[in-house]
Amino acid sequence: MESPFSLVGRNNIFAAFLLVFFPLAIAQSTLQATNNVPYRAAVYEHAVISAPPKVVSRTEAVANMMKNVRVYEEQTKIAAGKGAKIIVFPEDGILGLDLDRITVKSYLEEIPNPRFVNWNPSETPNVYNGTEIQRELSRIAKENHIYMVVNMGTKVTCTTKYDPSCPFDGQRQYNTNVVYSQNGMLVAVYKKRNLYIDLPFDPAPEPEYVTFDTPFGRFGTVICFDILFKEPTSVLLEKYKIRNLLYPTAMKNLKPFVNIIFESAVARAHSFNFLAANLHVVKRSMYGSGLYSPEGARAYVYNANPGESRLLIADMEAVNEEMPSTHSTIQPKIDPDSTINVTIIKGSVLGLQFLFRPLLGRQEVIKLCYGDFCCSLDYEIMHQTTERYALGVANGFIYIPGDNKLYVQACTLSKCYGENCLAEITSAKTIFERFNMAAHNFKTSKIYPSVVAMNESSYVLVDDEWTYNRMGEIHLDGPMSLPLYTAVLFGVSEHED
């Protein structure tokens, strides 16, 4: 049985007290049709001030976290002043990246479940001890009259006597998104399910489908790596019909699937508003955030300058249509190109092998296969340059630390750096007149498309210059306004289906 208060398993008298004095919130996330309307939103890419990797007192822990909370307050004020109704902060934006299971302990707070308890931490702060951060966030949301989505660490005590899977140290520690309403009310708590080397944390014991309603529509939230998994993400989108997804993340850039490519592709593929707030930690290659609509990015940042946080604000359209089905990914099988007589370049990303077939002329129709997964490309370049571009194909597993893996199939059209077609590129000159890139025999059901150009040394999303037909085909009538960095079409699934 689920306790109404996740934190009070050990203190039933206290639970009874709360049950008497706090009205039960009406169970939310019913499945009826939503009525989303346009709204202005903000995301903050935060250069986190990481807590030091040592055991500290609760007082020191709170002081360390408050360094980030003070920045959140400033940015929230600015965003609200510009009319934003909701602001999203990144994963690990209060704790930083240097804590482990032991050193994080004094940073964690207990938190009630807002499905069962109405709690406004800034109005009735003394109901729960050790909730300094929650009180402060609630106050900031209330004072600025804005919804705040923040990631922090929470805990629940447990005992192996009643719970055989209780960790050795008697508590579960969760990577948690908390949401405060414009009145400072705690309206949502989501615990990360799919961990990615999250040393301090345990995964949520079961997937949670967390949604909440606002005057401007219904929202769902997940964290970082969760986005790639059926539970909770596909269920939220398909069953709960969420069309506004809030996404605190701390995601490394992984060529060719760098964050702005990945984020824009997810919003486009699933046709929802995707508010992605990443950490800004350049030495770990974490950066790239944005507000993405089904038609493309409304605002984004991809900036590798250390220490440069960024507040993004954009107007989001209402999305009420259901998620479009990805059409059969089984494309007519095409025969591997037997006439190829060019040197194939190899590369790999986290164990995923790529093959690259360099483009040879100003105009070609080519194909390249990896097993029975094939990519074809029909292109024309405006002016021949000495730059090397290649059609790439991948079909296999990405291996993730912690005994995890994901099945990935990908087609890319990318600029290479010499023999390296997965390298960082700092400039490009080649303008494509047109191209059509198609994937054949996708086995994954989630397929993500994106096209990125280069302006000087910056990556630029050119969302209105190409189309995606939901059948594994990117089409660009061209000519592009800027030189191409990469076009990517990739499928991801938890298993090789």
Q: Which residues are catalytic?
A: 91, 192, 224
Min. distance of Cβ 13 from ligand NAG in angstroms? 11
Min. distance of Cβ 14 from ligand NAG in angstroms? 6
Nearer Cβ to ligand NAG (129/386)? 129
The answer to whether 9 and 158 have CB atoms below 8 angstroms apart is: yes
The answer to whether 214 and 130 have CB atoms below 8 angstroms apart is: no
Would you give the distance in Å from CA 354 to the centre of its chain?
Answer: 24
* Near ligand NAG by CB under 6 A: residue from 12, 30, 384, 481: 481
Question: How crowded is residue 412: how many other Cβ atoms within 10 Å of its Cβ?
Answer: 25
The answer to whether 263 and 288 have CB atoms below 8 angstroms apart is: yes
Interface characters, 90-129, with ligand NAG (x: CB under 6 A): ---------------------------------------x
Nearer Cβ to ligand NAG (165/341)? 341
Nearer Cβ to ligand NAG (392/483)? 483
Q: Which of residues 173-202 bind ligand NAG (CB under 6 A)?
A: none
Nearer Cβ to ligand NAG (456/497)? 456
Q: Which of residues 437-476 bind ligand NAG (CB under 6 A)?
A: 455-456, 460
Min. distance of Cβ 161 from ligand NAG in angstroms? 22
Tell me, by CB under 6 A, how many residues bind ligand NAG. 7
Tell me how far apart the alpha carbons of residues 437 and 466 are, in angstroms, rounded to a whole number: 11
Interface characters, 210-239, with ligand NAG (x: CB under 6 A): ------------------------------
426 counts as binding ligand NAG under rule CB under 6 A? no
Start-to-end CA distance of the chain, whole Å, equals 34
Token pair belonging to 285? 């290659």
The answer to whether 111 and 6 have CB atoms below 8 angstroms apart is: yes
Question: How crowded is residue 41: how many other Cβ atoms within 10 Å of its Cβ?
Answer: 28
CA angle, residues 400, 401, 404, in degrees to nearest 5? 50
Nearer Cβ to ligand NAG (32/341)? 341
Min. distance of Cβ 484 from ligand NAG in angstroms? 13
Tell me how far apart the alpha carbons of residues 469 and 260 are, in angstroms, rounded to a whole number: 21
Nearer Cβ to ligand NAG (165/339)? 339
Min. distance of Cβ 344 from ligand NAG in angstroms? 13
Token pair belonging to 316? 């989001």
* Near ligand NAG by CB under 6 A: residue from 482, 484, 488, 489: 482
Min. distance of Cβ 395 from ligand NAG in angstroms? 25
In terms of DSSP bridges, do strands 363-370 and 310-316 run parallel, antiparallel, or are they unpaired? unpaired
Min. distance of Cβ 293 from ligand NAG in angstroms? 19
Residue 422's closest CA among 397, 388, 449, 453?
388
Burial of 380 from C-beta contacts in 10 A (0-12 / 13-18 / 19+): middle
Tell me how far apart the alpha carbons of residues 416 and 117 are, in angstroms, rounded to a whole number: 55
Burial of 401 from C-beta contacts in 10 A (0-12 / 13-18 / 19+): exposed
Interface characters, 322-341, with ligand NAG (x: CB under 6 A): -------------------x
Helix (H, G, I), strand (E, B) or coil at 259: helix
Residues that bind ligand NAG (CB under 6 A): 129, 341, 455-456, 460, 481-482
